[in-house]
Structure 1
């Protein structure tokens, strides 16, 4: 099929100030063969009315209004509705370049089942651009990269997925941080390839108060999601990948907490301690010698390792001129 239908899924919840920019970037795509599914997750600020207005103006848009159930439940409803051959997820306070889909289809390898592209993280006072080297890899190779080193491989927003590859999968409901477990399951099972296109086409808005802004107890949902995955895949090779990602995020969270002021650090360390203790006993997949040493050191002496990285390593690098 030369002009496949693309389903664009947009969960919507109380984003009235940003929603029109998001929807304009989708309905005005230079690639026209779209179905656009807007799931209003119980908005109370007029976002639902904005969705309805856009649907009246564009026959490609379908709107679902539902009681508030969270991002995962909104996405799952849209997954059941979609009719496209490919699917793109856009958060309702973000936006994409107008030629995003056209460029992705121009550069997509015929063997690809996931096409990732670059993104701009938009803060209130600056923008950070994230672009990787163009690449094509198997699902298992991509899974290894995700669980050891690549944060944005675990997000839904900057990827186009082949629908046949994700059929049968769903998002864990009732918690935050559902993207990474979903993508891990997909990479473990997929038969096709994971492609990276070095174009910054997605604009990811970081707002004050979002769950990604600073450490909160909701961040612990990621651990619970991993633990559910470990139960589901007990006895399989996938377990070691899940444990590796669990350890990766335990280390990341520990560093984030370690540099906080003492009063916050003490509280957040107490919150994360049970999960850190689990991570210290977990196995991880084969990694390079240097990374293996660092991870083992973290498992044995997390505070000492964090002290070395945060305080000693910068001084050493400065002394040797690196």
Structure 2
């Protein structure tokens, strides 16, 4: 089922905000309230329900009377990547931004977003708050340094032309890592907006919190897109930063796998092996961080993880 509300004026919106919703009946109303603004002619709100099985769609339909809201519902669950890809195909704004259905914008965020956009900028990166049970547990500051960017898609504003032809990989966890990095590399000018514009709400039942250790294998397939970009498109001066970003992402997931509790050693080793193989195949070098203390720590932990894989294999593990 699809409900579409056509904007009542012929002006192209400045910004298309794509909101992904799936089984967030308790959060979606607050999310949508946080994006409503008087700047209706400048903002296009695209809400896509990914075939929720709870009351999410019913809550979304209550906002159909707003003149700048477009509602769309997938007929079957297709995953976050396809939700965002659908939203990008539907968007008409000059700029794109993403928001998950259980997160919120901070007060005045839309005004700050629109006001910061100009003809010389291709990509805007802004700060966000990490929220658990209504409390701020961490504040993230933005950066325009490739190897230190936060790879989530939703703390950025993209010129639509910048990401033309660039899609999120369907059916994968951590789907935005390569997308955001390639957008960053394509951009001629990246603007940093220090303001914290998103409240990123951590839910124990969310996709990234509830999945098993096996989900970390997906980073190899997702990052392969960035490796291909490095090989075929990237400028030589960007290669060291790309390699460091690849190393940082691979290390981050190795570290998470090593820290999992109540996961068998066999399952951990299976994922670690894939990460180690990817690093060797991609020839990313040994620069994990530009701070020597973190660099030493990361290299030691990486080598320990690889040693665990080798010992398991030597003992006849699969």
Q: TM-score range by the shorter chain?
A: 0.7 to 0.9
Q: What is the CA deviation profile of residues 281-309 of structure 1, one whole-angstrom value per residue up to 9, with x for unaligned ones?
A: 62249775837963894498335999xxx
TM superposition shift of 1:230: 3.0
Spell out the pairing of 1:231-250 with structure 2 (5 A cutoff): 231=228, 234-237=231-234, 242-250=242-250
The Cα of 1:200 is off from its aligned counterpart by 1.3
Alignment of 1:206-221 (within 5 A): 206-213=202-209, 216-221=213-218
Residues 71-103 of structure 1 deviation map (CA, whole Å, 9 limit, x = unaligned): 111111111111111122111111102311212
Instruction: Please state which structure has a larger fraction of its residues in helix.
Output: 1
Residue 51 of structure 2 is matched in structure 1 by 42
Deviates more, 1:230-239 or 1:272-281: 230-239
1:313 aligns with: none
Question: 2:123, 2:187 within 8 Å by CA — same for their partners in 1?
Answer: no
Shift of 1:47: 1.2
Question: What are the ranges of 5 or more consecutive residues in structure 1 without an aligned counterpart?
Answer: 136-141, 307-322
Pairing 1:61–2:82 present: no
Q: For 1:34 and 1:289, how far apart are their aligned partners in 2?
A: 41
Match of 2:227, SS?
Answer: helix
Instruction: Measure, in 2, the Cα distance between the counterparts of 1:108 and 1:35.
Output: 15
Show the counterpart of 2:195: 199
| CA–CA distance in structure 2, aligned partners of residues 295 and 260 of structure 1 | 19
Give the aligned CA root-mean-square deviation in angstroms.
3.3
> Is 1:73 aligned to 2:82, yes or no?
yes
Q: Indicate whether 1:251 and 2:248 are aligned.
A: no
- The superposition leaves residues 199-248 of structure 1 with CA deviations (integer Å, 9 ceiling, x where unpaired) of 11200111003343376211221211112443466444477655433321
SS in 2 for 1:9: strand
1:158-216 per-position Cα deviation (integer Å, ceiling 9, x unaligned): 1222212122221111112111111112122223x111111112001110033433762
Structure 2: give runs of 5+ residues left out of the alignment. 1-10, 309-318
Q: TM-score, normalised by structure 1?
A: 0.77
Counterparts in 2 of 1:43 and 1:226: CA distance versus 1, 3 Å: same
Task: Indicate yes or no: 2:183 matched with 1:183.
Answer: no
Q: How does 1:302-313 map to 2 (within 5 A)?
A: 302-303=304-305
Verify the 8 A CA contact 1:258 1:265 in the aligned structure 2: no
- Equivalence map 1:90-239=2 (5 Å): 90-108=99-117, 110-124=119-133, 126-132=135-141, 142=144, 145-146=145-146, 148-150=147-149, 152=150, 154-191=151-188, 193-213=189-209, 216-231=213-228, 234-237=231-234
Q: Please give the secondary structure, in 2, of the residue aligned with 1:7.
A: strand
Q: List per-residue Cα deviations over 1:11-70 (Å, max 9, x = no partner).
A: 21111110000111112x243321111111111102112222211x21211111112111
TM-score scaled by length of structure 2: 0.78
Q: How many residues were matched structurally? A: 290
Judging changes above 3 Å, is the alpha-carbon distance between structure 1 residues 195 and 305 closer, same or farther for their aligned structure 2 residues? farther
Distance 2:267 2:197 in 1: 39
**Contact 1:13 1:42 (C-alpha < 8 Å) held by counterparts:** yes
Question: Do the aligned residues in 2 keep the contact of 1:11 with 1:74 (CA within 8 Å)?
Answer: yes
**Change beyond 3 A, Cα 1:252–1:54:** same
Which shows bigger deviation, 110-119 or 211-220? 211-220
Change in Cα spacing, 1:120 to 1:289, as seen in structure 2 (3 Å) is closer
**Is the CA contact (8 Å cut-off) linking 2:13 and 2:44 kept in structure 1?**
no
State the Cα distance separating 1:254 from its structure 2 match: 2.4
1:85 aligns with 2:94: yes
| Matched-pair contact (CA < 8 Å) for 2:31–2:104 | yes
